[in-house]
Amino acid sequence: MQQYQNWPDGFRTRTLPVIRGEFQVSTDPEIVLSTVLGSCVSVCLYDPTCKIGGMNHYLLADAAEGEAANLKYGANAMELLINRLLRQGASRTHMQAKVFGGSRMSGRFADIGPRNAAFALRFLAAEDFPVLAQDLGGSEARRVNFHPVTGKARVVHIAGTVEPAIAAPPPPKPEARRPASGGVTLF
């Protein structure tokens, strides 16, 4: 579903969502790629010379054995995004990155977000892509809008999205007992 929005610069755009485990690439100046991130990470790559860019959204840094080809894993999501950009005319030497996400969203899986963020930064450094901006970590979800032709990004933090740590379950309620008179039992 595409939605129109106006950016502060005055240009009108259509929003193209990038959901978990996907990526999108565009050369259309009216397209803005958009996603919502918690512990997931989104890497936005663009070539300012060719005016092409893309965004991925991966769930986990490392793949389980036999699942490396799944887009939900960082390495595959990165390779597919880079290869699509190159096929559509981007130059590896001009590509620049912006990285978002990696929050600690749950007490149960507190290390997933930081591991996703660390993976993205390591991968980009190993591939010699400069990271021009990043908004990583924290404990809130964020909405990211990325204009792939210009490389401009906008991030909105979504307050109150952290899931509390799991507490011990409450003790069971005592069993209801019927009064001898046969009336209603109140808890």
Q: Is the pLDDT of residue 13 over 90?
A: no
The pLDDT of residue 73 = 75
What is the Cα–Cα distance from 37 to 97, expressed in whole angstroms? 17
Give this prediction's pTM.
0.77
Q: Which of these ranges, 15-24, 33-42, 154-163, has the smallest mean pLDDT?
A: 154-163
The pLDDT of residue 160 = 65
DSSP 8-state symbol, 10: S
The pLDDT of residue 159 = 80
The pLDDT of residue 27 = 96
Q: Is the pLDDT of residue 98 over 80?
A: yes
Q: Which residue in the block uniquely carries the two structure tokens 């929050």?
A: 103
End-to-end CA distance of the chain: 48
C-beta contacts of 132-138 below 8 A and 24+ residues apart: 132/96, 132/97, 132/98, 133/98, 133/99, 134/98, 134/99, 134/100, 135/99, 135/100, 135/101, 136/41, 136/99, 136/100, 136/101, 136/102, 137/102, 137/103, 137/104, 137/113, 138/103, 138/104
Q: Which residue in the block uniquely carries the two structure tokens 């400069």?
A: 130
What is the Cα–Cα distance from 179 to 176, expressed in whole angstroms? 9
DSSP 8-state symbol, 84: H
Domain boundaries, the chain: 3-158
Q: 166 to each of 95, 109, 149, 163, how far by Cα in Å?
A: 42, 11, 43, 9
What is the Cα–Cα distance from 50 to 94, expressed in whole angstroms? 9
Residue 28 pLDDT class (50, 70, 90 cuts): very high
The pLDDT of residue 75 = 87
Residue 4 pLDDT class (50, 70, 90 cuts): very low
Residue 45 pLDDT class (50, 70, 90 cuts): very high
The pLDDT of residue 169 = 44
For the domain covering 3-158, report its CATH number: 3.30.1330.200
Asked if 103 and 142 touch (Cβ cutoff 8 Å), the reply is: yes
CB atoms within 10 A of CB 148: 27
Note the residue count of the chain.
Answer: 187
Q: Is the pLDDT of residue 148 over 50?
A: yes
Q: Specify the 3-state DSSP secondary structure of 148.
A: coil
Q: Is the pLDDT of residue 54 over 90?
A: yes
Instruction: Report percent pLDDT > 90 for the chain.
Output: 60
What is the Cα–Cα distance from 31 to 83, expressed in whole angstroms? 20
